[in-house]
Chains A and B, each alone.
Chain A
Amino acid sequence: MDATQDIKKEINGYMKVFGALAVLTIVTVAVGSLKFGIGLAVVIAMVIATVKGSLVASFFMHLAHEKKLIYLFLFITLVFLMSLFFITFGTIGDQVGVKIVPESISSGVH
């Protein structure tokens, strides 16, 4: 198979990824309109966003076929990012379960 054929195959893949991203965007909005509790809503929204982000990174940014050095960079970045979120969640850990009143309810204004 020559290079042009390979690229055409890649383009086919891009179109499939585009379709998946479009569907997942609609799913995100549809799920967002269902009134889940904030905890479940955050988990669902972040899972869908992570799947979408992974599709973009893996195919459009061709991370699925990248060199080891790039993976090393991203692994180190992920460690620092997770550390940052770990510190953040550690800071707010004592507030878990404290009910947050939506502004529109507390002020009586919509």
Chain B
Amino acid sequence: MQVPYTVKARPDTGLYNAKIGIWLFLASEVMLFGALFSSYILLRAGSTTWFVGSEELSVPIGTFNTMVLIVSSVTVVMAWASLRMDNFKKYRLYMGLTILLGLTFLVVKIMFEYLPKIEHHHIPSTHNFYAIYFVLTGLHALHVVGGLIVNAYFWGPGAKMWETNPEQFTNRIEIAGLYWHFVDIVWIFLFPTIYLL
């Protein structure tokens, strides 16, 4: 069965279906992270003692990872723009860079943040600060992993669609990009909240 409105916009919404789907999904994601940010506020306000993020965590590493995600947002939007300009080679380059940047983010997070913290027994049971730090950044890292799997699929086997249905493939990359940008926005709020305040 052919899925309708994968390329052309539905007359009543003015949008192709996947775009409505991703925005509804992102709306649910806003509530998920919103609930965790609320938990952070409650935990912090309800605590008589609290760690200062900039004293406990590495601000330079957090800043580096912030820049990595921002650059990856640029590369993924450039991948989409390349397809719209009918340039598949450039798409591959930019999507490949996006994947590399996502991997860089995860490697830095695990090797230079999580592992040293665990070695020093700074784990969720140590203090509510570390509990919310690991939950918020861990959930965000899982979202990066999810995005990487999707992006890698579209860089590799999923890219075959470019030959058979380039318009639908371009739309798919737009959808993958919207998700990736959302992950970037979550980090934009997470970074000052956890690392600086």
Contact = CB atoms under 8 A, between A and B. Distances in A.
B51 A102 contact: yes
Nearest to B29: A77
A55 to B, nearest CB: 9
Interface string B13-55: 1110001100110010011001101100110111111111011
Main secondary structure of the interface of B (DSSP, over half): helix
Contacts, number: 145
27 contacts: A18-B70, A32-B196, A32-B197, A33-B59, A45-B193, A49-B189, A49-B191, A49-B193, A56-B181, A60-B73, A60-B74, A60-B181, A67-B14, A67-B15, A69-B14, A73-B24, A81-B30, A84-B35, A87-B38, A91-B42, A92-B45, A95-B45, A100-B49, A102-B50, A103-B51, A104-B51, A107-B49
A74 B27 contact: yes
A57 B189 CA distance: 13
A7 B185 contact: no
A80 B188 contact: no
Interface of A: 3-4, 7, 10-11, 14-15, 18, 21-22, 25, 28-29, 32-33, 38, 41-42, 45-46, 48-49, 52-53, 56-57, 60-61, 67-70, 73-74, 76-77, 80-81, 84-85, 87-89, 91-92, 95, 100-104, 106-107, 110
A17 B9 CA distance: 28
Contact of B74 (A14, A52, A53, A84): A14
A7 B85 contact: yes
B74 A18 contact: yes
**How many interface residues does chain B have, given as a range?**
35 or more
Nearest to B50: A100
Contacts of B177: 60-61
A89 B38 CA distance: 9
Interface string B47-75: 11111101100010001001100110110
A84 B38 contact: yes
Contacts of A41: 196-197
Nearest to A76: B27
B84 interface: yes
A110 B23 contact: no
* Shortest beta-carbon contacts, A-B, top 10: A32-B196, A45-B192, A92-B45, A77-B27, A88-B38, A103-B49, A53-B185, A67-B14, A106-B49, A81-B34
